Structure 1
């Protein structure tokens, strides 16, 4: 009888140990799911009226471009990619209007997202672009501005505040209107 009791006790101990292990594994899985679902540090998405975050990038000519250096002027801040069809379509309009508004206190600053210098220079040369073009190689500026689609353009007034955020392709008339809206007085 003692062997049967010992065997029963051993089986009960194994069962209890399995239950404990399964419970621990289940708790770990539930904890991992909860950790994943709970929002981390809530980062604020930029909105019209916010100050545009300052940044420093180097343009294709090797010059440092800081948004804060443009204070007192309107800034047409355009994020784009060489592979992006809407970006390709609006670039000639941006170039044309850059030339028209440069002497009126509106500057174009262009930020390519994480592409090679060669691709961006080839694109610039193909489209004859003359405004400053930078490359956000580590996506730090993209992260600061928290946008998703390309192209995205921030219309920034002379005081550094965001007047408009456009997350789509623009027509020449729309670009002209936005540039007119941020001309310093």
Structure 2
């Protein structure tokens, strides 16, 4: 009997590890914000490779060719990848005459039929290679699909972009123009800076600027510096729940849990239906080892959220900390299912 229980615990722990790894990948890949590649950073030499397209023709990428290249990794059955292909076709029409080259690498799971359909539907004029052995994916350290990188004339990475959003053509195409000398950095910044349709007070605008700066610092692994910006944003605009939530998240990252709880609680007072504030409170309880409190708060956050994948992940973590491995696995599974659908 004891041996059977031990086997169940072993199986559950294995599942917990698996789902934690899967969810870590999901959370590290927010569209357009996180790193697209593990092994390619700005200034890294791009790696050459030789693949075949879906008709068996050779496709080679030579970073030292002296040309600017937009290199994109896609999964042809994925909606975001299809949208990216459409945008790449539009960018190719504009930028190919300027000497910028395009190359797409498809997932090892993609089929010749899917490639043929995509090429016909979107009028793809550039090569789509298949990485059957996932070697290129591994060499470049793909975090997410779709993902794109821009390689300069010197063969080095100059820009990376994760996932796909409505601003893809401006963000990626604009940066390619900067690299090619077709646009200045100032023009690029103006292009990708959202235009405010509603006039905001000086305090609101400055608070939002500080929040944006703080989020960038947080993503770069500098929670203390991020907290300084978020704290200033709260000071300037104390009734802004987004500023308080961001401040709370940075304080959690700095392990200042009591201070974080103050910010999340105030944010919930300002916005009673805020799922992020509720989830923040639950996260603080989890980090403090208060699993039962965490489960109550995070369960409420999941009910408030039409896309509860993140809440399910933290519920799994709370149950794991409590030692309830079957429920931990249950919620990790639900989180993965939600993220796959979303």
Q: TM-score, normalised by structure 1?
A: 0.70
Contact conserved, 2:76 with 2:107, CA < 8 A, in 1?
Answer: no
- CA distance in 2 between counterparts of 1:103 and 1:69 reads 19
Is the counterpart of residue 179 in structure 1 residue 190 in structure 2?
no
Partner of 1:127: 122
**Cα 1:63–1:80, aligned 2, differ >3 Å: closer, same or farther?**
same
Note the alpha carbon deviations across 1:10-58, whole angstroms, 9 max, x for none. xxxxxxxxxxxxxxxxxxxxxxxxxxxxxxxxxx722111001110012
Aligned residue in 1 for 2:92: 98
2-structure distance, mates of 1:69, 1:49: 13
Counterpart of 1:165 in structure 2 is 160
* d(CA) in 1 for partners of 2:82, 2:174: 20
Q: In the alignment, what sits opposite 2:138? A: 143
1:60, CA displacement in angstroms?
3.8
| Residues 68 and 153, structure 2, Cα contact 8 Å, conserved in 1 | yes
Question: CA offsets, 1:134-179, max 9 Å, x none?
Answer: 1111111101100121011011001110001111214221232022
Find the residue that maps to 1:50 and give its secondary structure. Answer: coil
C-alpha root-mean-square deviation of aligned residues, in Å?
2.4
Structure 2 contact 91–173 (Cα < 8 Å) conserved: yes
- The offset of 1:184, in angstroms, is 7.0
- Whose radius of gyration is greater, 1 or 2? 1
Q: 2:150 aligns with which of 127, 152, 155?
A: 155
Asked if 2 retains the 8 angstrom alpha-carbon contact of 1:156 and 1:182, the reply is no
Which among 55, 75, 84 is matched to residue 49 of structure 2?
A: 55
Q: Are the counterparts in 1 of residues 84 and 146 from structure 2 also a CA contact under 8 Å? A: no
Give the length in aligned residue pairs. Answer: 145
Cα distance in 2 for partners of 1:60, 1:117 equals 5
Q: Which runs of 5+ in 1 are unaligned?
A: 1-43
Distance 1:106 1:144 in 2: 23
Match of 1:84 in 2: 78
**Structure in which a larger fraction of residues adopt helix:** 2
Query: 1 or 2, which has the higher strand percentage?
Result: 1
1:109 aligned onto 2:103: yes
| Match among 40, 56, 66 for residue 72 of structure 1 | 66
| Structure 1: distance between partners of 2:64 and 2:91 | 18
Q: Distance in 2 between matches of 1:108 and 1:61?
A: 18
